[in-house]
Amino acid sequence: MHKFVRARPIPGTGGKEQRMTVRKLRTSAVGYLFILPAVLIIGIFFVYPAIQLFTIGFTDYNLMSGRGSQVGFSNYANMFRNPDFVNSLGVTFKLALFIVPTQTLIALVMAVLVNQKLRGVSLFRVLFFFPAITSFVAVAIMWKQMYNPTFGLANTLLQWLHLPRMRFLSSKQQALISVGVACIWKSWSYFMVIFISGLKEIPQEIEEAARIDGANSFQQFLFITLPMLKRVTLFVVVITTMDAIKLFIPAFTMTSGGPLGTTDTTVHYVWRQAFRLMQVGPAAAMSTVLFLIIVAITLVQFKIGSKENQ
Amino acid sequence: MKRFLSVLLVTLLLVPLLITSATAEEVTITLASFPDQPKAALEAAIAAANLGFKVEIIEYPQNEYENKIKMAFGAGNATDLVLIDGPNTASYAATGVLEPLDAYWAKEDFDDLVSSAKSTATWNNQIWVAPLNESNTVLFYNKKVFDELGITAPTKVEDAWTFEQLLDVCEKVTIPGQRYAIQPQMFSLANKNEGQTYTQMLWLWMGGGEVIAPDGSTATGFFDGEGSKAGIQFYADLFTKGYATTEDIVNAFETDRVVMWVNGPWAIGNWRRDFPNVEWGATPMPKGARSASGSGSWNIGMSAASKHKEEAWKVIEAITGKQGQTIWCEETMNTPARASVLESLDMYKEYPFDIINEQMLKTSMARPSTPAYPQISEALMDCFFEVAYGEDVNAAVAKATQKMNEALGNVK
């Protein structure tokens, strides 16, 4: 049995107020202790590296020697004159423009389908979720093998269908789409689960009322389900956009950014500058710019989302 | 009884302490490597030297090897010894992460190295690395296809095919869409690593060009010179004429999808191990405006932060000394970097090493030695990739020259 000790009032002050303050302080201290591990982890692994990254962007830091001198804003000034960096930004946005709508649409449609009360549907939910829990490196290697022009599954299927063979990853025109397809395959089911949870929250009475009013399934989906999923959709779009802009593994594992930089995402380009070519200062400046771009896009998306919600 | 128990207790406490202190004095030298450098051959060379302490070889994946060791140097936890590719020696040495080897290496023993290996090992008048072996390149061909088509390949440097003769052979052996004549670089174009630059640079040299100025100050007038452009154009034509492909064909030479392949003698070791049925032949590198073949290979460098430098040097001696290099080269089919080993082994007088020996003496060329080499290599590789995919040679060369000049301008 715990024994609670009452705080002694200090003479000359209100005893009740004093007790309240001590209690508040105790409660706050316990709260701070609870969040301390999270604050420490975020501080050590996110905030400190982010500050370091920002400061390194103004130097010509050498990763091996750990030395570097101040170069002012020259890393920032040079990056937009660098055609390879500009190309990598273009690649990243093209990839995001392909992945975000396609993946969101697939996830939404599949969520509606597996949300039906049919026999065995939960098995499909589990099966569909497998790619989401598989390592991205493993997925990228698997797709690289499937795209292999000699023995890959993709060309074998095309041959069966009497269609011409495709170059996939070694074609300037097809490589980015091929990488995008692998990315979508990996992640759509994760967002499908988020959409399912959104669907579960839609009150059945509204759907029933719509049905009584004579709305068919498509009309119900269009006028009831979609508007009720706005908040979930905003969340999915924001997260998918951030993920798409930060893509690294498929470029690294499947194509090395090639052919001719057509799949060279910004993160992959920055990584190459930093760790292959030892240009850590410019790479840090590029990362800072990419971070600011992601923040700006996310804010715009939230702004649009909140306006629509109103 | 009490006394006995006390003695037992004290003994039990002391034994682990004694063991720990004995273990602490044991020296283990660590060596960073990657799977393409056969571990068994390294271990055989080390074992033959009977060093009396432990040597641990830590392997990293080949494509990630350089990143791993650079990050390890930066984090201060590098292995005692690292394998370093020849042209990158200057970039490592310039950052101060390597221990100069001048104080350890006796001059008469260093002089046993062939001249190209000596240049690889030195930068800024100091010795930084010890060569594992030298290297050279030949044009390997599928013997079965050549025999079927009645093509005879030259075996002497003076008889090497000209660019025009090579094109004739390409035309004969190509079966459109099915079989390509040549892989003019070490790997398919899906790979980006130094092996590509090593072999692509040969075409530029054969065209009569150079990469950068001898003093390392600029690429203008060298990489964008007429000779360089002619070599790069010839390489580009191999692709546009359908003799080479940008497709990523796995084991293209071994599966008869490609008939000729520019590569080094280590390929022979790989075939013996993994593709014993491959029927191959070798011919000298073709000649354009001039003849050229590759040189420079992997070396062992010592970390400046190593706590056991004397022992680390003993490991370097064990692997790269006369005995160690003999074992290493016999196992891996690499070309020795020591003149004494080259002379002592009969296999280097026989085909195809007779071609390699002749090329090493007459046509081998070294990649530029500059701390900016990683950027130079990347710019060159990108340029060759672009022209292989049909981009304009002049535009690709101009872009690469600008990148090279920027990198050279940043060298302090």
Q: What is the pLDDT of residues B131-170, one digit of tens each?
A: 999 999 999 999 999 999 999 999 999 999 999 999 999 9
Q: Which structure tokens are listed for A306?
A: 């909140």
Judge: A63–B74 Cβ closer than 8 Å, yes or no.
yes
Judge: B246–A170 Cβ closer than 8 Å, yes or no.
yes
* Percent of chain A residues topping a pLDDT of 70: 94
Average pLDDT, chain B: 91
| Residue B258, strand partner residues | B180
B187 contacts on A by Cβ (under 8 Å): none
Out of A151, A261, A276, the one facing B374 most closely (by C-beta) is: A276
Rounded-to-10 torsion of CA A154, A160, A164, A168: 0
Confidence of residue A10 (pLDDT cuts 50, 70, 90): low
B301 contacts on A by Cβ (under 8 Å): none
Instruction: Give pLDDT, residue A66.
Output: 79
Q: Tell me which chain A residue has its CA closest to the CA of residue B385.
A: A260
Instruction: Give pLDDT, residue B16.
Output: 55
Best mutation target among A88, A159, A178, A278 (most B Cβ atoms within 10 Å) is A278
Is A162 exposed, middle or buried, given 0-12, 13-18 or 19+ CB atoms closer than 10 A? exposed
Out of A64, A255, A277, the one facing B375 most closely (by C-beta) is: A277
- State yes or no: ipTM above 0.95: no
Judge: A256–B190 Cβ closer than 8 Å, yes or no.
yes
B192 contacts on A by Cβ (under 8 Å): 256-258
Nearest to A71 by CA among A89, A62, A58, A83: A58
A83 contacts on B by Cβ (under 8 Å): 399
Helix (H, G, I), strand (E, B) or coil at A224: helix
For the segment A111-162, what is each residue's pLDDT rounded down to a tens digit?
999 988 888 888 888 889 899 999 999 999 999 999 988 789 999 999 999 9
Confidence of residue B22 (pLDDT cuts 50, 70, 90): very low
Nearest to B227 by CA among B211, B213, B207: B207
Nearest to B370 by CA among B90, B119, B92, B118: B90
Helices marked H in chain A — which ranges? Answer: 15-42, 48-56, 74-79, 83-114, 121-133, 136-146, 153-160, 175-200, 204-212, 217-220, 226-228, 230-245, 249-250, 266-271, 280-309
**What's chain A's length in residues?**
310
Judge: A170–B96 Cβ closer than 8 Å, yes or no.
no
Judge: A257–B192 Cβ closer than 8 Å, yes or no.
yes
Out of A65, A170, A278, the one facing B96 most closely (by C-beta) is: A65
Judge: A60–B97 Cβ closer than 8 Å, yes or no.
no
Angle at A179 between CA B189 and CA B190, to 5 degrees: 10
Q: Which position has the higher pLDDT, A9 or B323?
A: B323
Is beta strand B28-33 parallel, antiparallel or unpaired with respect to B81-85?
parallel
Out of A60, A63, A148, the one facing B71 most closely (by C-beta) is: A63
H-run or E-run covering B302: strand B298-302
Contacts of B37 (CB under 8 A, 6+ apart): B83, B132, B298, B332
Nearest to B279 by CA among B167, B76, B141: B141
For the segment B61-107, what is each residue's pLDDT rounded down to a tens digit?
887 888 899 989 988 899 999 999 988 898 899 889 999 999 999 99
Q: Which residue has the tokens 């065209």?
A: B207
Judge: A260–B391 Cβ closer than 8 Å, yes or no.
yes
Q: Which structure tokens are listed for A275?
A: 């760790």
Confidence of residue B11 (pLDDT cuts 50, 70, 90): low
Helix (H, G, I), strand (E, B) or coil at B60: coil
